[in-house]
């Protein structure tokens, strides 16, 4: 029997940070479906927002976050996360993180929506540096077990012991997870006193995304099936600038490039952002993404250009070495060429409903990082707040999880996984076809601009996909592609239903049928 005090599902910044702290109080197991370094954190280019300049202040950072969140942030959560910024940076540096320096101190840059230079970064691959230092510390820790190539399938609750569970069952508790060993194809039962969801986002639900292939919404889907409450799933952030090239796989061109002076131009060479917002290229991402989308639709173009030719080659190579190399790999020199870009699904502002301590509505189940909806981001995430939130909430979650674990015993009554009556099948074309169809539906109908008609059409088509895949799942031995598709369909449903419930345009949710903001703050969408 595999049993631990703390089970962590996911190996991004939230999961690794939680594991390092939790290991001080008990045994920890980290489950990750690929290798341990593959996560959304590893793909984060921009940085971490924190108040470190004497001319800046917590109040300014809070204000910028609340403005971007379009009236739906939790002010107390915002204040707590912002206040914890400096100590979080100091903690990472103490662990060995190496951030870009300038004139003997940390180099602070500015990104869209921020009123001050407060973004700490490691060149243009900050996420990779954070992942590196956290993973090195976790990998060498004797109290932490890391299970790579293990796919978390289902959260274990009273449901698996024959009890009826609803979203209003007060004693619904998590006892661990059923996990598919991808190397043996066997489902393992991993029991725990507490469980942390740190599974990241769901960008793969869309045809174009900056997220890695692992971002299939597994945590949100598992939590929803386990009867946890999920919040604000209509707010999907589309990054305005991903590289438009058939071989680039929606490579992200960091927000910091626009902060460095880049201009957006249409194919006629016209700088167009002044038509949409007085902040121009430094407007929040939702405004920039909609402006690009409007240009594409009006002009019938496939992409617009990002123009950073005003900066010299040496400057670009120093500040954006990885972006410069990637563009060069595709035949573009940023110092001389216009860079073709399109928006792409980037970040999920909603997620499993939690408080500032990561507590979900299921006992013993915590969530941190992109999978969680704490109230920090509201209707739109301010750039570079996400890594900070993941680390702060993960640390807070440890404090609550260790207290909960003190009074718990491992529940050995949990049954083993039962796959009797299922068979192996060769018809995996059904999965690949439905996968592509789901992504196309979400991109066409539930993207940057929505309408009642588009949402209703998406709902009908994804319902058919759900019925097909569930039928296939019930009679087939589980596999990673099948489970991921099942999770993606669940997340798509949550996004569509949440979008249909919001009768206004707010933050990242824009609909042509309700193009205006309600005078009062609209309710949070709880499913």
Interval 47-94: pLDDT, tens: 899 999 999 999 999 999 999 999 999 999 999 999 999 999 999 999
Query: Which among 346, 381, 405 is the end of a domain?
Result: 346
Q: What percent of the chain has pLDDT over 90?
A: 74
Asked if the structure places residue 95 within a domain, the reply is no
The answer on 294 and 201 residing in a single domain is: no
Q: Residue 110: its pLDDT value, please?
A: 86
Q: Mean pLDDT over all residues of the chain? A: 91
Show which residues are catalytic.
Answer: 285
Asked if the structure places residue 262 within a domain, the reply is yes
Asked if the structure places residue 118 within a domain, the reply is no
Residue 389's alpha-carbon distances to 46, 78, 193, 199, 261, in angstroms, are 15, 9, 24, 15, 27
Q: Is the pLDDT of residue 37 over 70?
A: no
Q: Is the pLDDT of residue 341 over 90?
A: yes
Query: Which among 304, 329, 346 is the end of a domain?
Result: 346
How many angstroms separate the CA atoms of 420 and 249, rounded? 39
List pLDDT tens digits, range 420-446.
Answer: 878 877 667 888 899 999 999 999 899
Asked if the structure places residue 457 within a domain, the reply is yes
Q: Residue 171: its pLDDT value, please?
A: 80
The answer on 185 and 136 residing in a single domain is: yes
How many angstroms separate the CA atoms of 442 and 453, rounded? 13
Q: Residue 165: its pLDDT value, please?
A: 79
Query: Which among 294, 316, 346 is the end of a domain?
Result: 346
Count of domains forming the chain: 2
Rg (CA), the chain: 22
The answer on 150 and 255 residing in a single domain is: no
List pLDDT tens digits, range 282-299.
Answer: 887 788 998 998 898 889
Asked if the structure places residue 472 within a domain, the reply is yes
- What are the φ and ψ backbone dihedral angles of 342, each rounded to 5 degrees? -140, 155
The answer on 488 and 367 residing in a single domain is: yes
The answer on 474 and 336 residing in a single domain is: no
Asked if the structure places residue 76 within a domain, the reply is no
The answer on 142 and 18 residing in a single domain is: yes
Q: Residue 179: its pLDDT value, please?
A: 97
The pTM (predicted TM-score) of the whole model is 0.90
How large is the average pLDDT for residues 222-237?
Answer: 96
How large is the average pLDDT for residues 208-235?
Answer: 95
Asked if the structure places residue 203 within a domain, the reply is yes
Q: Residue 9: its pLDDT value, please?
A: 98
How large is the average pLDDT for residues 343-368?
Answer: 96
Q: Residue 138: its pLDDT value, please?
A: 93
The answer on 261 and 368 residing in a single domain is: no
How many angstroms separate the CA atoms of 478 and 433, rounded? 18
The answer on 329 and 452 residing in a single domain is: no
Task: Catalogue the E-assigned strands of 104-215.
Answer: 105-106, 108-109, 119-120, 144-147, 150-155, 176-181, 186-197
CATH code, domain with 334 = 3.90.700.10
Burial of 278 (0-12, 13-18, 19+ CB in 10 A): exposed
CATH code, domain with 449 = 3.50.50.60
Question: Could you list the residue range(s) of the whole structural domain that residue 305 is in?
Answer: 236-346
How many angstroms separate the CA atoms of 453 and 449, rounded? 12
Q: Residue 41: its pLDDT value, please?
A: 52
Q: For residue 352, give the nearest of 494, 470, 178, 496 by alpha carbon.
A: 494
Q: How confident is the model at residue 45 (pLDDT cuts 50, 70, 90)?
A: low
Q: Residue 389: its pLDDT value, please?
A: 97
Q: Residue 36: its pLDDT value, please?
A: 56
Asked if the structure places residue 417 within a domain, the reply is yes
Q: Is the pLDDT of residue 464 over 60?
A: yes
The answer on 201 and 258 residing in a single domain is: no
How many angstroms separate the CA atoms of 363 and 175, rounded? 9
The answer on 492 and 370 residing in a single domain is: yes
How many angstroms separate the CA atoms of 41 and 43, rounded? 5
Q: Residue 159: its pLDDT value, please?
A: 87
Q: Residue 286: its pLDDT value, please?
A: 81
The answer on 176 and 38 residing in a single domain is: yes
The answer on 430 and 523 residing in a single domain is: yes
List pLDDT tens digits, range 496-505.
Answer: 999 999 999 9
List pLDDT tens digits, range 94-135.
Answer: 999 999 998 888 999 888 789 999 999 888 778 888 999 999
């Amino acid at each position: 029997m595999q049993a631990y005090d703390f089970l962590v599902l996911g190996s991004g910044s939230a999961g690794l940070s939680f594991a390092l702290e939790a290991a001080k109080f008990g045994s920890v197991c980290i489950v990750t479906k690929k290798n341990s370094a593959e996560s959304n954190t590893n793909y984060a280019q921009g940085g971490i927002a924190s108040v470190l300049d004497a001319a800046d202040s917590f109040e300014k950072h809070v204000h910028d976050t609340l403005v971007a969140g379009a009236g739906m942030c939790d002010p107390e959560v915002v204040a707590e996360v912002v206040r914890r910024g400096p100590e979080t940076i100091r903690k990472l540096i103490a662990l060995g993180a190496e951030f870009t320096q300038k004139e003997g101190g940390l180099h602070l840059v500015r990104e869209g929506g921020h009123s001050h230079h407060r973004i700490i970064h490691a060149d243009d691959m900050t996420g990779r540096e954070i992942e590196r230092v956290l993973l090195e510390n976790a990998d060498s820790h004797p109290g932490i077990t890391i299970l790579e190539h293990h796919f978390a399938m289902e959260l274990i609750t009273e449901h698996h012991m024959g009890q009826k569970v609803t979203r209003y069952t007060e004693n619904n508790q998590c006892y661990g997870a059923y996990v598919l060993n991808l190397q043996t194809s066997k489902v393992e039962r991993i029991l725990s006193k507490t469980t942390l969801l740190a599974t990241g986002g769901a960008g793969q639900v869309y045809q174009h995304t900056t997220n890695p292939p692992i971002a299939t919404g597994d945590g949100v889907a598992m939590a929803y099936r386990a009867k946890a409450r999920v919040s604000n799933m209509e707010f999907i952030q589309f990054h305005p600038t991903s590289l438009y090239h058939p071989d680039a796989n929606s490579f992200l061109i960091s927000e910091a490039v626009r902060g460095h002076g880049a201009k957006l131009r249409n194919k006629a060479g016209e700088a167009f952002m002044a038509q949409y917002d007085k902040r121009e290229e430094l407007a929040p991402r939702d405004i920039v993404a909609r402006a690009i989308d409007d240009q594409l639709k009006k002009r019938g173009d496939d992409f617009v250009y990002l123009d950073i030719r005003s900066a010299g080659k040496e400057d670009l190579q120093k500040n954006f070495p990885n972006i410069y190399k990637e563009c060069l790999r595709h035949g573009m020199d940023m110092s001389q060429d216009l860079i073709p870009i399109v928006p792409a699904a980037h970040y999920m502002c909603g997620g499993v409903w939690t408080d500032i301590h990561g507590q979900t509505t299921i006992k013993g189940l915590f969530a941190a990082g992109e999978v969680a909806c704490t109230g920090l981001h509201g209707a739109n995430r301010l750039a570079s707040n996400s890594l900070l939130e993941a680390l702060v909430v993960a640390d807070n979650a440890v404090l609550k999880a260790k207290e909960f674990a003190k009074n718990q015993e491992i529940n050995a009554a949990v049954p083993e996984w039962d796959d009797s009556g299922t068979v192996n099948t060769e018809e995996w074309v059904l999965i690949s076809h439905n996968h592509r169809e789901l992504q196309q539906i979400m991109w066409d109908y539930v993207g940057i601009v929505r309408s009642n008609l588009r949402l209703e059409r998406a709902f009908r088509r994804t319902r058919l996909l759900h019925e097909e895949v569930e039928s296939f799942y019930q009679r087939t031995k589980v596999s990673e592609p099948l489970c991921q598709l099942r999770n993606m369909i669940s997340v798509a449903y949550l996004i569509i239903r949440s979008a249909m419930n919001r009768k206004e345009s707010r933050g990242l949710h824009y609909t042509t049928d309700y193009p205006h903001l309600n005078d009062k703050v609209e309710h949070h969408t709880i499913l």
